[in-house]
A and B are shown apart, each in its own frame.
Chain A
Amino acid sequence: MDDLELIESYRSGNETAMEELILKYQKNIYRLAYRMTSDMEESKDIAQNTFLQAIKNLDKFRRESLFKTWLYQIAINLCLSFKGKHRHNHEELQENIVVNQSGALNVILNKERDSLLMKSMSEVPERQRLAILLRTYEGLNCREVADIMNISEGAVRANYHNGVKKLKELLKGYRHGTKA
């Protein structure tokens, strides 16, 4: 069954259909949230709340967009709201990224490359970072990203290219030691 059929099935009372949808997208949503927040616990909550909001607002889901696109929109809004709430902790977050490398998460994120990537990505402006995340990690085309970000395809291209350019510069700076 495709997404729309699963949604219809859930609407007619089949809870398993919704469970199937959650199983299908939960990892994508969690990873997207993690890449935006760099916070594992918060990303788990965002993943859970994304599906809760989706169920609550299922009546508002328009069939002209993909369910996946709609879910990403919800998740991104939750991530942005999280970042808004924790904006004052931005510096702390930056520190945590590095501290976590040598701490409990060392087992998972023990590569310096990952640390530099995360640090650099966190410095890329929000919209540009979002365009990179959705284009590369999620493998979405410009049209889909435009739908999610609610901007034009041209703006997606511009955000993506400027973001990649900025990311390259930041990585060069860190790798050549010109940026602390």
Chain B
Amino acid sequence: MGLRHEDIKEKLPEYFSGNLSHADRAEIDRHLKGCPDCYEELALIAELIDEDVPEPGDFFWNSLPGKVIMLSKEREENRFPFKLLLKPLPLTACIILIAISLFFIANNGRHSSEYPYAEAIDPLSAFYIDYSILKDEDLAGLDEKFFPDDSGLNNLIGTFYDDSYHGDIVSLSSEEMDNLYQSLNNKKT
């Protein structure tokens, strides 16, 4: 059965490169004589194939294989050995390292959530003051000197042991704040 016009058009690149059976070639030869469309397309293929491509020169062609092998070796050497990480010892070390890091991260997070005032890095925060060095008599002296009338301020000092006194001051009403200010001024004079 003969080849159709479309089939022949499709085979023109193979016809040009000589990759066709003798029978197909003979049939296309016959078709080309009477088909200007296919002939024009074949001429275009010939033109395309004839198109020049600038040659980089023999030095490039001769050195490329060696250069590629050398570069591939270099890259192989510089590559991070991910496969090595899968070996038991490095893998265990990595897991331990990650676990330790996670422990510290988790611990820090809890720390800051327990002491909300400390998050502001406030130097007056009770969290940053070491009250353990104070003795009872130190506080008693302080108490007698500034708050001899056993006012609410003594209770306020008592909270130093528990947490930041900022929280207590912030919770005072404006009236209590005025009283506090007044008391401090009176004691000063």
Contact = CB atoms under 8 A, between A and B. Distances in A.
Interface stretch (A1-9, A66-74, A80-88, A136-144): A136-144
A44 B68 contact: no
Nearest to A165: B41
A18 B64 CA distance: 11
Contacts of B13: 135-136, 139
A137 B60 contact: no
Given A26-B64, A52-B72, A31 B48 contact: no
Interface in B56-74: 56, 60-61, 64-69, 71-72
Contacts, number: 85
B142 interface: no
Q: How large is the interface on A (under 10, 10 to 19, 20 to 34, 35 or more residues)?
A: 35 or more
B53 A35 contact: yes
A164 B9 CA distance: 11
Contacts of A31: 53
A102 to B, nearest CB: 15
A34 B52 CA distance: 10
Interface residues of B, number: 31
A18 B65 contact: yes
Which residue, of A108, A136, A167, has the highest number of chain B Cβ atoms within 10 A? A136
A52 B53 contact: no
A139 B69 contact: no
B186 interface: no
A164 B41 contact: yes
Given A109-B52, A109-B54, A52 B64 contact: no
B48 A23 contact: no
B10 interface: yes
A168 B75 CA distance: 45
Interface of B: 9-10, 13-14, 16-17, 19, 40-41, 44-45, 47-49, 51-56, 60-61, 64-69, 71-72, 75
Given A52-B71, A139-B17, 6 more contacts: A18-B65, A23-B61, A55-B68, A109-B52, A114-B52, A137-B49
